[in-house]
Amino acid sequence: MKPVKFIDTAKDDLSSFSPEARRVAGFNLWRVQNGRMPSDWKPMPAVGAGAMEIRIHVEGAWRVIYVAKFDDAVYVLHAFRKKTQKTSQEDIALAVRRYRQIGG
């Protein structure tokens, strides 16, 4: 099982999710750690190769952007509450900067 590594404030951001959204996020990250796909996800090519988004629909819309293509860990780049239909450019830009930090 791969460890999860949080980049910058991603862990604190995930901690701000509602308890149920946090539980769903944790379960899906566990699936990714074990080489499986999350229950609801989409690729995020705008962030970088191999970047994915876990989509959580519990008490609102929540997102966790991560990369699992590396052998050493699952990197959580960004976690946030989604307020509009389209992911904001600010959220994508933040994930891109963090993706570059891990050498993606």
User: Is the per-residue pLDDT at 16 higher than 80?
Assistant: yes
User: Is the per-residue pLDDT at 104 higher than 80?
Assistant: no
Taking only the tens place, the pLDDT of each residue in 17-42 is: 999 999 999 999 999 999 999 999 99
d(CA 28, CA 32): 6
Q: What domains are there in the chain, each with its CATH number? A: 4-101 (3.30.2310.20)
Give residue 43's pLDDT band: very low, low, confident or very high (50, 70, 90): very high
Taking only the tens place, the pLDDT of each residue in 44-103 is: 999 999 999 999 999 999 999 999 999 999 999 999 999 999 999 999 999 999 999 998
In terms of DSSP bridges, do strands 51-57 and 41-43 run parallel, antiparallel, or are they unpaired? antiparallel
**What pLDDT is attached to residue 101?**
96
Instruction: Name residues whose C-beta falls within 8 Å of residue 5's C-beta, 6 or more positions apart in sequence.
Output: 73, 74, 75, 76
Sequential DSSP letters for 10-48: HHHHHHTS-HHHHHHHHHHHHHHHTT---SSEEE-TTT-
Q: CA 104, 77, 91, 24: dihedral to nearest 10 degrees?
A: 140
Whole-structure pTM value: 0.96
